[in-house]
């Protein structure tokens, strides 16, 4: 079982969930796939279906409309899975914090659903690609 757990850390498939973000973080994610950063070195790749995902990359402050969809995608993801919140909005709702339509930061919503969810925070607006790689690697170390 130990070798399977080790291989989990060597092969993280990422599903990118843009929950009402401003698109700034989404563009930064694409930079991870370019020759300069190339996350496939670490065995990570972007997948199209949450069923294949090992890490959910969530960005955006969650509005009332986005909340049920976020929870749905989290339930669809096979466990164990890592949730990576990136960007200021994902980590803490950012400048939209007290807006009428915002139901709270992502971690609060996910902890109501599943108390032992594993979360990594990567702040920044948007975070640099180096910071994203470092964040995911540190999250894997803590797993």
Partner 1 sequence: MKLVIYYLIYPGFVFASIIGLLSTWFDRKLSARIQWRQGPPWYQSFADIGKLLYKEVIIPKEANRSGFIVAPLFGLAAVTLAVTILGVGMINPTAGFIGDIIVVWYLFAIPAISLIYIGSTSGNPLSSVGVSREIKLLLSYDLPMVILIVMVASKVGGFTIGSITEWQRINGSLIGHWYGVIGFIIAIFCIQAKLGRVPFDLAEAETELGSGILMEMSGAVLAAYVLSQAIALFGLSYFLIILFWGGVSGGIGILWAILKYLLIMVFLILLKNTNPRLRIDQAMKFFWGWMTGGAILAGILAYLGV
Q: Which residues of this chain interact with partner 1, rule CB under 8 A? A: 1, 3-8, 10-11, 35, 38, 40-41, 43, 47-49, 51-52, 54, 76, 78-80
Q: Least distance from C-beta 140 to partner 1, angstroms? A: 12
C-beta of 7 vs 99, nearer to partner 1:
7
Helices 129-142 and 24-31 pack at an angle, to 10 degrees, of 80
Q: What is d(CA 130, CA 21) in angstroms, rounded to the nearest whole number?
A: 20
C-beta of 17 vs 91, nearer to partner 1:
17
C-beta of 38 vs 99, nearer to partner 1:
38
Cβ pair 89, 124 in contact under 8 A = no
Q: Least distance from C-beta 40 to partner 1, angstroms? A: 5
């Amino acid at each position: 079982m130990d070798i399977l757990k080790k291989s989990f850390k060597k092969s993280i498939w990422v599903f990118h969930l843009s929950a009402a973000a401003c698109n700034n973080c989404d563009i930064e994610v694409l930079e991870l796939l370019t020759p300069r950063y190339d996350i496939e070195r670490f065995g990570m790749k972007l997948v199209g279906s949450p069923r294949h995902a090992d890490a959910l990359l969530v960005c955006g402050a969650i509005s009332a409309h986005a909340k049920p969809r976020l929870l749905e995608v989290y339930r669809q993801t096979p466990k164990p899975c890592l949730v990576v919140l990136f960007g200021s909005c994902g980590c803490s709702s950012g400048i939209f914090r007290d807006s009428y339509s915002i139901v709270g930061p992502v971690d609060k919503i996910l902890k109501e659903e599943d108390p032992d969810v594993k979360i990594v925070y990567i702040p920044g607006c948007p975070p640099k690609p180096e910071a994203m790689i470092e964040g995911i690697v540190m999250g894997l170390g803590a797993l």
